[in-house]
Structure 1
Amino acid sequence: MAEITASLVKELREMTDAPMMDCKKALSEVDGDLQKAEELLRVKFGNKASKVSSRVAAEGLISIAISNDGKQGAILETNSETDFCAKNDEFVSFTQKVANAILESNPSDIDALKNVSIDGTSVEETRSNLVGKIGENISPRRFISGTAGGKFHSYLHGGKIGVLLDLDGGDDELGKDIAMHIAASKPKALDESGISQDLIDAEKRVAIEKAKEAGKPEEMLDKIATGTVNKFLKEVTLLNQAFVKDDKQTIQNLLDSKGAKIHNFTLFVVGEGIEKVESDFAAEVAEASKV
């Protein structure tokens, strides 16, 4: 059997963009024949996506697309398994193309998005091919798109936090400032009407239990709980939050001073709500180094 050298594996990787371990396995299967190994990997690319689809994809990128007039907007989260993949140029390009496609086609959900065309190929086929090249589970996870009541503004922080803001009135500077504020302060809703009663009740119960533990008299418990809930609502509702660039005024004060109004906003944080699986990177490297 021919020796599978590191340089041979590297050459095959450069030819195919396939992961190192797959290149090594392919060369072993065909006794070091570079051409046959390349053909083998091309055949396997289509199957690659299904093999890695069960792996947790909790890293990724937020992408935003807004029409020239600011009336149409879309925000998308696309997940990958590692931050390294999220910085890959082809991955970055793919996510932006998908966001642009959402803006143009307005699919109803993630399943409908799979059939939308980008560069003459469906999103799903393009995704599958990219999974084959990079060797990681890649998946558009969620998106929001629609028409603005005012004008869309956006902010991206390192590709990990994304904000799409529908602002009526004001100017681009105000839109950027408020979008940045949302990314920094992470409000749960625009105002109190957007906070669920279940969440409010939970805050009240916690406040009452804490007051009891602190030895507060029974007749004071409701008053203490009400104050705690009111403080909580100010902290988690955008209009009541202190502006990050000037904590002497709230976002509502800022809007009033500019004659502006917020219709709504969307805040995406990469991997939010996904349980990440910790891996032993050293062990993976050691395994990959075995011939």
Structure 2
Amino acid sequence: MAISAQDVKQLKEMTNCGMMDCKRALEQTGGDFDAAVKYLREQGLAKAAKKATRIAAEGLVYTKIDPAKKVGAIVEVNSETDFAAKSERFVEFVDMVAQTVIDNDVADVDALLGVKMSGTEETVQDILTERIATISENIKIRRFARMEGDLFSYIHDGGGSIIGTLLKLEADDVNDDAVKQCAKDICLQIAASAPQFVSQADVPANVIAEEKEVQMALAQKENETAAKPKPLNVLEKIVEGRMKKFTEEICLMDEPYIKNDEMTVAKYVASLGKNIKVVQFVRYEKGEGLQKKEENFADEVASMMK
């Protein structure tokens, strides 16, 4: 199949590999991006990446919690420009969307568009259409998550990035000052390190199996060029060590605590002695995985493919 310049560009942004390496990977995998990333990693050309890729879209990540209902929402709404995202009518719209998510337990964005916007008699879609017309930019409700329970949130807005976290905790007394401080610290940790799961028990078996396959393929490739090739049992131990590091990097509770890297997050939480349990979290970063149009770079890629 023909591999487009845009496909090569997208894979490069996902992996930070060279353009020709990305083109070759897409050709080898029939244009399958997940397979192409795996191919590059097996060749030792790309490192395992966390969920976020290059950030390239404007808009807002926003959190809202209703303490009385014990329900909260985190939403991402995208716009074409940062100027529009900072406008009063855009921010008001995002807040209304978050409140509507709190008030309506809907499955996805399509379902959300069909319900009445909280505080109005119009649907979310109707008000979205009106805001697109008045703000004069395309606006898209990209994603949302809704949680119930004792919730905490944090928004980081700086350096061009907006990162939001919504966290659910359980504790003997969630109103205890030490518990509240712990929740704040964990929200900061999630924003800074972008973990994918709470603990190793939450990592799906297929994620572990695929990573183990990648690490074994990489270890075997390294072994082929080694001066003294290692036996299979030694390679398996090497892979076991890499898998331990992999799970530590993607699991919140196994990460080094950002305020004291001599202990893990799990040890920090346990040290407080408040019977605190991290139940669930969601982390959104503005524009995660989206791209702005970059004509010059695309032209450069196209020229290399001729």
- Fold match by TM threshold 0.5: yes
Shift of 1:70: 7.3
* TM-score normalised by length of structure 1: 0.70
Match of 2:140 in 1: 139
Query: Which of 160, 169, 174 is matched with 2:182 structurally?
Result: 174
| Structure-2 change in CA distance of 1:108 and 1:198 (3 Å) | closer
Change (3 A) 1:210 1:108: closer
Residue 244 of structure 1, aligned match among 225, 235, 258: 258
Identity %: 35
Consecutive unaligned residues of structure 1, counting only runs of 5 or more, are 1-56, 281-291
Aligned 8 A contact 1:188 1:238 in 2: yes
Aligned residue in 1 for 2:212: 204
Q: Which position in structure 2 is the counterpart of 1:116?
A: 116
CA distance in 1, matches of 2:104, 2:212: 44
Does 1:161 find its partner at 2:163? yes
Cα drift, residue 205 of structure 1? 3.0
Summarize deviations over 1:229-254 as a string: whole Å, max 9, x none: 11110111001011111111111111
Q: Distance in 2 between matches of 1:83 and 1:261?
A: 37
- 2:287 corresponds in structure 1 to 271
Q: Does the 8 A contact of 1:105 with 1:116 survive in 2?
A: no
Change in 2 beyond 3 A, CA 1:279/1:136: farther
Matched with 2:191 is 183
Larger Rg: 1
Distance 1:132 1:269, change over 3 A: same
Task: Provide the secondary structure at the position in 2 that maps to 1:160.
Answer: strand
Within 5 Å, give how 1:57-76 maps onto structure 2.
Answer: 58-69=57-68, 71-76=70-75
- 2:7 corresponding residue in structure 1: none
- Alpha-carbon distance in structure 2 between the residues aligned to 1:128 and 1:97: 14
Aligned to 2:278: 262
TM-score, length-scaled by structure 2: 0.67
Q: How many Å apart are 1:201 and its aligned residue?
A: 2.9
CA distance in structure 2 between the aligned counterparts of 1:93 and 1:196, rounded to whole angstroms: 38
Segment drifting more, 250-259 vs 205-214: 205-214
**Partner residue in 1 for 2:84:** 85
- Residue correspondence of structure 1 range 210-225 to structure 2 within 5 A: 210-212=218-220, 213-214=222-223, 215=226, 216-219=229-232, 220-225=234-239
Question: CA RMSD, aligned part only?
Answer: 2.1
Name the CA distance, whole Å, in 2 between partners of 1:276 and 1:203. 31
Q: How many residues align?
A: 222
Q: Secondary structure at the match of 2:210?
A: helix
Aligned-partner residue type, residue 138 of structure 1: I
Return the letter of the residue paired with 1:117.
M
**Structure 1 position 126, deviation (Å):** 1.3
- The separation in 1 between residues aligned to 2:69 and 2:129, in whole angstroms, is 32
In the TM superposition, what is the alpha-carbon distance from 1:69 to its structure 2 partner? 4.2
